[in-house]
Chain A
Amino acid sequence: MSGGRRWLYAGSLAALLLLLLVPLGVQNAYYLEVLFRIFIFAALGLAWNLVGGYAGQLSLGHVAYFGVGAYAFTLLTLDLGWNPWLGVAGGVGFSLVAALVIGSITFRLRGPYFTLATIATAEILRLLVLNLQDFTRGAIGISTPPLFPGPSADRAFYLAAVLLAAVAYAFNLWADRSRFGYYLMAIREDEDTAMAVGVNPARTKLLALLPSAAITSLAGSLYASSFHYIQADYIFSIDISNQAAIVAMLGGAGTALGPVLGSVILTTASELFKEVFQTAHLLIYGILIILVVLFLPGGVIGFFGRRSRRRAQREPGPFAGSLSGEEGSPRHSSSSST
């Protein structure tokens, strides 16, 4: 196991180095922009994964931190004259405060009620930003300050997105192998059991939301700056919350590699469909999501991971004493032939 783990770390590091070298070969602005989006959404999916994947709290309101990051960065830089990067850091600060408030309200709720509450809090923020016109310019929107002035901005944005995704990925890897990650998984499985091993579920969920919100906020600032312009309706759009969740679930929620894989597949696919099917690409996108939920509940990783794990486990015979009820369960059904 630890041997496999070492390969995973080495492979991840090699992949990161390779990705950092990409701008040397790819100069095309369009490709760099698609790559930027792939890694921004990978970062969003990885951030969401800490709360939605490992801890199993299906948030559909992560756009709150994305939007707060985008707006705080923009307004702090433009209106208060902060250095843009200080503005980005300020955005993280605001998002952490938002996470503490939103988390302590919504984490009292479970299941669908939690999900609805997260949607509601993000919507409240959208409406606030839309209507506090004196601060936010309301529906007119604002032009965002550049984080990377100069001709090589495309490359710089791409590299920033890769690094952000790498940090988010590292958090996920850590969750795989730490007390904190185990506690999150225990909460996902059953909060009563989690408490029986000494876990304070409310506090632990809030602690998971903090890094998640911070990364999401950074992605929001980067996105805002690369887009040159923000407006409440699309920077606080529920589509972004959904995208973060879908990317993680498509790849495999609760795994570190899942959201990265999900973003590569989904962003590439939506880009291809956009070319071929014009506006119908959203329809294709929707159908794809339904297919994944129906046929790949564990995501792409879950599908392949489960198969390899079964193979490794076949020889000892833990099933020997298993009750008859176990045999029909979907967990084992598809492996019985081999």
Chain B
Amino acid sequence: MTKRFGGLVATHDVSFTVERGEVVFIIGPNGAGKTTLFNLITGYLRPDAGVIRFRGLPIQGLPPYRITAMGVGRTFQIPKPLAHLSVVENVMLGAFLRAGTYAEAERRALEVLERLEMRELARVEAGSLPVASLKRLEVARALATGAELLLLDEVVAGLSPAEADAFVGILRRLPEMGVTAVGGVEHIMRVVVSIADRVIVLDHGTRLAAGRPEEVVRDPAVVEAYLGTKFARREEAP
């Protein structure tokens, strides 16, 4: 798919498929087109060209709330919780999509919090959470909508290295919950290489490489993009 903003081509002919139960990372520096890609898939932007399918059905051009209802969840780069409500009430916001009553929504929300190991934060006011917990709350809210595919924009932005590792670890556990995960990160981190089924590297809006993480990190094009041509040649030499 392709998206242009005026003369700027934000994503150019980027094409990929994610299989059910996979953990896939979209890797690319700031401005590579990750957020644009997520916004295209979740309906916040309309592609200028191309097709987006979810479970075989074309979804491009649908409004975001319809795409959410179909089972595509997302998190935002900057978490925006309902600050004066508690954590569980924030997660209920997502749960209401599939829950008929207030009590059922609360039960579903608590289940999700349990699975994400944040049950003890349930009654805390969301506005008082640190960034790491807010990001986790975003995941909980998206999971509570009953999402089967979860798109996580900027998985590690604003987190310390330890927090980032812990957060990326959450993605690994999503397939056990029946959820396919696609996360966006800026750099090829060790933890990403260790848990990803596949990675897709974006650069200036085009797909630079895609495949298993250990293959991609050796891809000359990727090495060149990240480290410069000198390193790319050195890699090839021996």
A interface residues (Cβ-Cβ under 8 A, vs B): 1, 177-179, 182-183, 185-186, 189-190, 192-201, 309, 313, 316, 318-319, 321-323, 326, 331-332
Given contacts A197-B68, A197-B97, A199-B65, contact A313 B128 (CB under 8 A): yes
Residue B56 interfacial (CB < 8 Å) = no
Bound: A265/B142 CA distance, A? 42
Q: Known contacts A192-B80, A196-B145, A331-B83; can you find 16 more A-B pairs with CB under 8 A?
A: A182-B93, A186-B93, A189-B80, A189-B81, A192-B76, A195-B43, A196-B64, A196-B73, A196-B74, A197-B96, A198-B96, A313-B128, A316-B124, A318-B125, A321-B133, A331-B127
B141 engages A197 (CB within 8 Å): yes
Q: A177-B102, A196-B42, A198-B145 are in contact. Are A318 and B65 (CB under 8 A)?
A: no
Q: How far is the CB of A51 from chain B (nearest CB, A)?
A: 18
Q: Are A185 and B85 in contact (CB under 8 A)?
A: yes
CA distance A193 to B44 in the complex (A): 11
Given known pairs A190-B80, A195-B64, A198-B145, the reply for A183 and B96 (CB within 8 Å) is yes
When the two chains form their complex, are residues B64 and A332 in contact, meaning their CB atoms are under 8 A apart? no
- A178, A186, A189, A322: which contacts B130 (Cβ < 8 A)? A322
For residue B168, CB closer than 8 A to chain A, the reply is no
Q: In the bound complex, what is the Cα–Cα distance between A183 and B82 (angstroms)?
A: 11
Q: Which residue of A lies closest to B158 (CB)?
A: A323
What are the residues of chain B within 8 A of A319 when measuring CB–CB?
Answer: 128, 130
B residues in contact with A178, CB < 8 Å:
102
B132 CB-CB contact with A under 8 Å: yes
A178-B102, A182-B96, A186-B93 known; A196 vs B142 contact (CB < 8 Å): yes
B residues less than 8 Å from A192 (CB atoms): 44, 64, 76, 80
Q: How far is the CA of A321 from the CA of B43 in the complex (A)?
A: 35
The 9 listed contacts between A and B (C-beta, < 8 Å) are A189-B80, A189-B83, A192-B64, A192-B76, A196-B42, A196-B75, A198-B96, A326-B130, A332-B128
Please pick, from A198, A316, A326, the residue contacting B69 in the complex, using a CB distance under 8 A.
Answer: A198
Complex Cα gap A197–B131 (Å): 20
From A193, A198, A316, A318, give the contact of B80 (CB < 8 A).
A193
6 tightest Cβ-Cβ pairs between the two chains A and B: A195-B64, A179-B96, A198-B97, A322-B130, A198-B68, A318-B124
B98's closest neighbor in chain A, by CB? A198
Task: Encode contact with A along B132-157: 1 for CB under 8 Å, 0 otherwise.
Answer: 11000000011001000000000000
Is A313 within 8 A of B124, CB to CB? yes
Cβ B132 vs Cβ A198 within 8 A: no
Contacts of A326 in B (CB 8 A): 128, 130
CA distance A197 to B65 in the complex (A): 7
Q: Which residue of B lies closest to A186 (CB)?
A: B93
Chain B residues near A318 (CB, 8 Å)?
A: 121, 124-125, 128-130, 133
A200: nearest chain-B partner, CB-CB? B65
Complex alpha-carbon distance, A177 and B92, angstroms? 11
Q: Are A186 and B82 in contact (CB under 8 A)?
A: yes
Q: Would B128 and A185 count as touching, CB distance under 8 A? A: no
User: What is the distance, in angstroms, from B117's C-beta to the closest C-beta of chain A?
Assistant: 14
B133: min CB distance to chain A, Å: 7
The one of A189, A198, A313, A332 in contact with B82, judged by C-beta atoms closer than 8 angstroms, is A189
A182 to B131, CA, bound (A): 23
CB distance from B19 to the nearest CB of A (A): 23
Task: Give bound CA distance, A331 to B105, whole Å.
Answer: 28
Hey, which chain A residues are within 8 Å of B43, CB to CB? Answer: 195
Assembly CA distance A192 to B120 (angstroms)? 28
Q: Does B63 contact A (CB under 8 A)?
A: yes
Instruction: Report A89 CB to chain B, min CB distance, Å.
Output: 31
B124/A179 in contact, CB under 8 A: no
Best-buried of A179, A322, A332 by chain B (most CB within 10 Å): A179
- Chain B hits for A179, CB < 8 A: 96, 99, 102, 105
Asked if B94 is at the interface of the complex by the 8 Å CB criterion, the answer is yes
In the bound complex, residues from chain A placing their C-beta under 8 Å from that of B44 are 192, 195
Q: Nearest A residue to B75 by beta-carbon distance?
A: A196
Contacting A196 at CB < 8 Å: which of B76, B81, B89, B96?
Answer: B76
Nearest CB in chain A: distance from B63 CB, A: 7
**Residues A321 and B132 in contact, CB atoms below 8 Å apart:** yes
CA gap between A154 and B156 in the complex, in Å: 65
Distance, CA A182 to CA B90, complexed state (A): 9
Distance A72 CA – B11 CA, assembled complex (angstroms): 56
Are A195's CB and B65's CB within 8 A?
A: yes
A304 to B163 Cα, complex, angstroms: 35
In the assembled complex, the Cα of A186 lies from the Cα of B96 at a distance in Å of 12
